[in-house]
Every structure is written in structure tokens, then in C-alpha cells.
Amino acid sequence: MTLTLTGVPRRHAILVDAGYLLAASAHMIQGTSLRRSIQVDWDKLIQHLKEGVSERACSSELLRLFWYDATDVERTAKRNREHDLLPFIDDVKLRLGRMNSEGQQKGVDLRIGLDMVNLALQKAVTDVYLISGDDDISEAVEMAQEYGLRVHLFNVPDDTSRLTVRATAYNLVKIVDTCTAIKPELLRDAIRPSKVSQIAPVTPVCPTPAPAPVPAADRRGPVPSPAMFNGSAPFLASSSSRTVYSTGSGGTGYYYGDLAVDQELAEYIPDVARTVAKGWLGSITQAELQQALRGKPSIPQDVDRSLLQDLTTKSGDANHVLSYDLKVDLRAQFWRAVEEVSSPARVR
């Protein structure tokens, strides 16, 4: 057992934001953050994470691994299959947050922050290995450090990022004690592409119209009309999809982003749409596909979230706000990519 300078035995905990880990791993393996595009060997993944930390922890003893996730996206608070499996794996403690009506994860960052500070206050561990990329937990990290806890970031690797880790806030990397990338071979051994069904030809149902060009003078985005919310306008979202406009912030819908960045991002739309479409088609059954086609132009909530996140990532700024034009074009091209990827000539 290794002792600190004060004679206290070294002990560590691993805090895993599952939303970050699985989305970032999916992007590394599949090219998209769509979580359902991968399948996971949970026993192997947990074991690899513990082994990876042990190599860094200098013979420190593991207290436990905390796994933070949100309940399902259908607002039913139902648990995913892994939520019933993970508690039976040695050393794992499951912590569940929730999804709101917009498909946004809520309560997870708060639970991570509370547990981190509590571990520091109770002197239960000397070190925490954090797998997360969200800047929202930065204040909790700093408070835990004030109580003597050392916080180490242990994230999914990204050779193209100057931070060496994928989808991680710059401020979070700046304040932690150390930042190390997980060995990619550990993740690839436990996480594989989904192979739920063979892609079958898609019969176009109510083809999605191409978006009308928006005059340059109006590129700040129009104010959403009542028709967009009463069902008489296209791209109206159902309960399982997300709208072009969000009323959660109380905003008017005007866009004040960087148009130069948006022009660059427009070039990535076909590639992002096709990559997400391929990942989605490889992870669903034919019955699920036909159900989604009947709901066009609405897009399943998790798929829409991945589309927006993957395009935003291309800007190099996780906080970049996509314009109305980009969102509409991205969603329209997604459905066109679905029909293209699953066309008979491309079925393998």
C-alpha cells in the first residue's frame, strides 16, 4: 500500500460520465457520436478502465467506479439495458440522472460534482480519475481540490486535438491536476460497431423537400411562425424529435453566430449526414426504420442530437451555435443520405 507524505494510504475512485465516454468512443470508432451506433462488452469495458487507471495510480487502492448516466430519452424514466447489468459488475456504483423533453441530459453533472466534493470532504480517497468532457463540473473540481483531492482527467484520445483528448472543454483540462488519454486499444477491444440488422432498400415516403435558399440579408434567421408549432409547417417535431427552434431559453429565434464559420461548416454537412445515417441504419431493425420513415421529416431525438453535435464539432468550438439554415439543410440531407446509403446498389 502506498502512503502519502502525511501517512494517509492512497486510494482512488473513477468517475465516469457515460454520455461522454460512449459518445466520444462512438465518434472514434464510427465517426459519429451516435451512441446506438456501437455495442459494448460492459464487463470488458469496466475492467479495461480499471486497468488503465491502475497503470497511472501508482499502486493506489480502488475504492469504486461510479458510473453516471441518464434514463431513457422517451421521458418515461425507464432504464437502459446496461443500467440493469452494470450494478452486478464488481466495484461499480450506478448513478442515474434523467433526460428532459428536449433530449438533454440533466442531473448527471450535478451528481458527479456532489460525489467528488463529498469524497474529498470525507477523505475517502486521495485521487479521482474523471472521465468527462463537460465544463459544467469545473467548479466542483476546483472545490474538491481545495479540500486536498487530486483530480486527474482520463479521457478518450484524439490525435487531431491540441488537448490530445476528444470533446473536452479547454477550461476543464486547464484546472485538473493531470490529463491523460485512455489507450485506444482498450476502448476498441470492448466497443464495436453495432450490427443489429442488414440495411435494406428504403422506399421513399413523403420525400423531404430541399430547403429554400435564404437571402443573405435574412441569414440571422426568421422568427418562428405559429404554423411551426401547430403542425401546418414542415419540420415540425414530434415528441421523439427536436425542433429547429427551442423555446426553452425564451429567445425569439434570431441568430447572432459567426456566418463565416457557418459557411465553412456547410461543406461538412453531406459527410456528417451520411456518417450518422450509416451508423443509425446499422443499429436499428427494419421495423424501427419503417416507423421512423412514417414520422418524416421528424428525426429520432438521439439521432438529431448527434447530427447537431457532430457538425458543431467540425467548428472546433463545442459552444458554437448552428444557424437555422444549417440545421434545416443538415436534417434534410440526413434523410437523403438514408435513402442513398440504403439503396439497392449499395447494400452489401
Q: Name the residue ranges covered by the structural domains of the chain.
A: 11-193, 216-346
Please give the pLDDT value at position 50: 98
Q: How confident is the model at residue 202 (pLDDT cuts 50, 70, 90)?
A: low
CA angle 31, 34, 40 (to 5 degrees): 90
**What tens digit of pLDDT does each residue of 273-325 get?**
999 999 999 999 889 999 999 999 899 989 999 999 999 988 877 778 899 89
Please give the pLDDT value at position 230: 42
- CATH architecture for the domain at 11-193: 3-Layer(aba) Sandwich (3.40)
Q: Which helix (H) or strand (E) holds 66?
A: strand 61-70
Q: Where are the alpha helices (DSSP H) in 179-323?
A: 184-190, 227-230, 259-266, 269-281, 286-294, 301-313
Average pLDDT over residues 101-129: 91
CA within 13 Å, CB half, 122:
12
Is the N-terminal amide bond of 207 cis, ω within 30° of 0? no
Span between the terminal Cα atoms of the chain, in Å: 55
Q: Is residue 211 pLDDT above 80, yes or no?
A: no
